[in-house]
Amino acid sequence: MTSVWLAGLPLIGGAAILVRLVTRRGRSGVRVMAGTGIVLAGAAVVLLVVAVHAGPAAAATGSAAAGAKAAAGAKLAAATSSGSNTAALLGAGIAVAGSTIGAGIAVAYAGAAALAAMSERPEVFGRAMVIVGLAEGIAIYGLIIGILLIGKA
């Protein structure tokens, strides 16, 4: 596993250099990078859908396919529970990721407004930190939901 990461480091470094060179062109470079990101995200979703809908017999050929079908029939209950485990884990990941991203956006706006208010009136520090703390609570709620979903898996 470590060798895969070590082999991928030059690729990551090259991508970082490419991003830096493309974004130097200003707004047009940023638009190119945003478009590339959208295309890659769409391709990842398509790949995920194909991977989820492809069964284990899709890769098998010839007599191996017959053996895979017989094994799949014998282990139907295990496959069903494995599918529900996958769905629960995927749901937990989405819950944690979505709540963390939402909390980050909320803290960015609330924190900026709190700092602006505190620069004019330092006595509003306590109230401003409560608002920022409420925004951080969104991530904790998502983490709790993720833990509950993993417990169901």
pLDDT of the residue at 123? 92
pLDDT of the residue at 76? 46
**Eight-state DSSP code of residue 101:** H
**Eight-state DSSP code of residue 123:** G
Instruction: In whole angstroms, give the CA distance from residue 55 to residue 33.
Output: 35
Task: Check pLDDT > 80 for residue 27.
Answer: no
- Tell me what the mean pLDDT of segment 11-32 comes to: 73
Kindly report the number of other CB atoms within 10 A of residue 49's CB atom.
10
This model's pTM is above 0.85? no
Task: Check pLDDT > 60 for residue 50.
Answer: yes
- Tell me what the mean pLDDT of segment 37-54 comes to: 74
H helical segments located in the chain: 2-23, 27-53, 63-74, 76-120, 125-152
User: Higher confidence at residue 44 or residue 95?
Assistant: 95
User: Higher confidence at residue 29 or residue 134?
Assistant: 134
CATH domain 77-153 topology = F1FO ATP Synthase (1.20.20)
Mean of all residue pLDDT scores within the chain: 75
pLDDT tens-digit series, residues 53-100: 776 555 545 445 445 455 545 444 454 555 668 888 888 888 899 899
